[in-house]
Amino acid sequence: MPTFDDRYRTTRNVFGSGPDRIIEMYAALMSPVLPVLDVGAGQGRNTFYLARWGFTVDAVEPAASGAAAIAEVVEGEGIPVRVHTCGFEDFEGEPAGHAGILLIGTTQVLSRDGIASLFERADAWTASRGLVFVTAFTVDDSRYEFHEREWSEVGRHSFAGPDGEVRTYLDPDELKSFFNGYKVVHYREGPGPEHSHGNGSVERHSLVEAVFRKP
């Protein structure tokens, strides 16, 4: 199966060109004084939207081709983005140093331990009153039964394929349990928007999308 590095190298706009709707809806609630952190920035669609708004963005992307695509646009437009070609585990973020953290499309490709580690780090990086934006797949997703049947179980609702690729799904309302003490600004579970990966077929996932504010 192609890696994200392969996909980003061969296909433009693998996950579309526009920002996620929760970014459009709630970006204005973030303070412009501190930077925003986009974890798993992909080819930069959410990063570019925020940077063009005037936010400084730390774009963390482990796939070299994705990071290179972001850097090319940044250089061409001169927008305030710092590109970090690494995974979140290796990003040295400042404690309480970000006005917002974007965790868009990251949880479903992590193990249960990986999700816990990501959320723990995100909490440490988020400033007081900062926002955390999250999307994740839920157990209602149409691909859940395939992964349960064909892949190896590596945790609760978490499965690994023969090439090591992981898919993890969350129970209803489970995401809130990771953000105890945070204010829920937005929370929705249900069908996500229709989309395609490049020129691929149209897909629609069952998602939880949320925005949490740190105390």
Please, what is the end-to-end C-alpha distance for the chain in angstroms? Answer: 42
pTM of the entire predicted model: 0.92
Nearest residue to 66 via CA among 83, 80, 49: 83
CATH of domain 35-213: 3.40.50.150
Q: What parts of the chain have a pLDDT lower than 70?
A: 1-2, 4-17, 192-204
Q: What pLDDT is recorded for position 104? A: 96
Q: What pLDDT is recorded for position 6? A: 58
Give the strand order in the sheet containing 152-155. Answer: 152-155, 158-160, 166-168
CB of 77 closer than 8 Å to CB of 20: no
**Both tokens assigned to 81:** 């983005």
Q: What pLDDT is recorded for position 52? A: 97
3-class SS at 204? coil
* Domain residue extents for the chain: 35-213
Q: What pLDDT is recorded for position 157? A: 97
- Alpha-carbon torsion (147, 87, 181, 104), positive or negative: negative
